Structure 1
């Protein structure tokens, strides 16, 4: 036994003894077990929650978005299930909501809300800023169509959180490569600056894209980029960044380089000094 499993099924099938179940495995959820001393991935925890539901629950929310390929979902997030059970164990969040047949698909053998239904749920359950971060990641992985999500929302006019859906969807941009980039883009938009374009191609000598800028404004020849820790800690990337910076500057682009810890007010001040106008 190497993955999460139902203890009762394993005992009945003779795959483990009660002694082995007690000594070699740890209970993850009621009747759900996993090998001891093996870290559980998000997929493991998702499957464990589904097994706990007696294979009746439909995976929704962040766990569903991760199954559809969205990045930046931490392994410890609550696993959300659409299930008629209001006594879920710790780490599992259940809701009993209306799901149509065409709003459910299967991923890795488990029932999961479709991409469009997952986007609908993320848009209405989270504050707009957080929702856009999650929707950006889902859009980058799946390239879902906004109009398809809005059409689905029209089927559920009374769903909790529905009023915030249009605002969140209007801000979605599949060009964001991290939650930090989404945060930075929203910072400019919420401050009244023009909406930046994302993943701006910088042509090489042959005319083909040589680099891509995180976001920016052509009319101001100004870009804003979020530099993660790897830009400083990875020597090869650090050296590559120097050549990239020199090339981009030769083409006339100015850049606002944002680091972890930079405050929103300081970033906006630098943008204004660089010539960005509201």
Structure 2
């Protein structure tokens, strides 16, 4: 028996009795089951969503981005499905939308929107910051063409929330290595600072970079990095990071570290002051 299955089919085939189904299996969605001894994964829930559509739906949205390799997707995220004759239920969002034949592919046995169509849906159905964060992650996992996304938008002229997509797309940067980096970049852009470059290589000697800066402005030698908890848990990593910062300082870089507890306005002020100290002025680019 498959890990995730349609209960009525298992009973009809004689693989389980109704009593055994109720005793040993849990429903993920209506009529779709998984063993009670198994902790459901996102892949399990995504498969269950597809089965709940009568095997006629196409996985879309955030769950589709995860199937394409995007990170930072929680296992309990709502699964989005493009389908008709399927009801939305807890944990399952069904969208009755037009889907062209070339806008989905198969990942394993699951029909999934293509990266470009996934980007199109994320950009329309999420608020700007959430959309950019998800699009950054999708682009980092599997590059997609902005032109292809806009071509899909043109094909579906008049679709809801297309304006959201056009706002989000120019802000996407696959160089973001975490949702916090996406948030930080957007905060700086919204403050009127120049759009930062991501993943800046720094070479001290030779040909291989000794550092890749999260984001910054090479012209001004100002960088901003989001600092996670790694150094608090790993002394060796902490020492490595400190030595890296000293080498960067020796090369003239100002590196502004940002932690989760920092106030966003204070971060903007610190970065603005650093850029001004290197000659940047508003409207100077």
TM-score normalised according to structure 2 size: 0.93
Which residue in the other structure is 2:138 paired with?
A: 138
Which residue in the other structure is 1:175 paired with?
A: 175
Which residue in the other structure is 2:62 paired with?
A: 62
Matched, 1:241 2:241: yes
Which residue in the other structure is 1:121 paired with?
A: 121
Which residue in the other structure is 1:87 paired with?
A: 87
Matches of 1:167 and 1:231, distance apart in 2: 36
Matches of 1:49 and 1:153, distance apart in 2: 26
Greater shift in the superposed pair: 8-17 or 154-163: 8-17
1:94-136 deviations in Å (ceiling 9; x for gaps): 1111111011111121111111111011111111111111111
How many residues matched? 278
Aligned residue runs from structure 1 range 1-278, under 5 A: 1=1, 3-85=3-85, 87-276=87-276, 277=280, 278=282
The runs of 5 or more residues in structure 2 that have no matched partner are: none
Matches of 1:251 and 1:275, distance apart in 2: 16
Matches of 2:255 and 2:204, distance apart in 1: 18
1:60-88 deviations in Å (ceiling 9; x for gaps): 11011111111111111111111113632
1:152-208 deviations in Å (ceiling 9; x for gaps): 111111000011222211111110011110111111111111110000001143221
Give yes or no for contact 1:85–1:94 (8 Å, CA) kept in 2.
no
Give yes or no for contact 1:59–1:80 (8 Å, CA) kept in 2.
yes
| 1:243, distance to aligned residue in structure 2 (A) | 2.1
The runs of 5 or more residues in structure 1 that have no matched partner are: none
Give yes or no for contact 1:85–1:95 (8 Å, CA) kept in 2.
no
Give yes or no for contact 1:2–1:35 (8 Å, CA) kept in 2.
no
**Aligned partner of residue 193 in structure 1, secondary structure:** coil
The runs of at least 4 consecutive aligned structure 1 residues that moved more than 4 Å come to none
Greater shift in the superposed pair: 198-207 or 184-193: 198-207
Greater shift in the superposed pair: 135-144 or 76-85: 76-85
Matches of 1:269 and 1:88, distance apart in 2: 45
RMSD between aligned alpha carbons?
Answer: 1.6
Matches of 2:233 and 2:2, distance apart in 1: 35
| 1:236, distance to aligned residue in structure 2 (A) | 3.1
Matches of 2:17 and 2:273, distance apart in 1: 70
Greater shift in the superposed pair: 225-234 or 179-188: 225-234
Matches of 2:250 and 2:24, distance apart in 1: 61
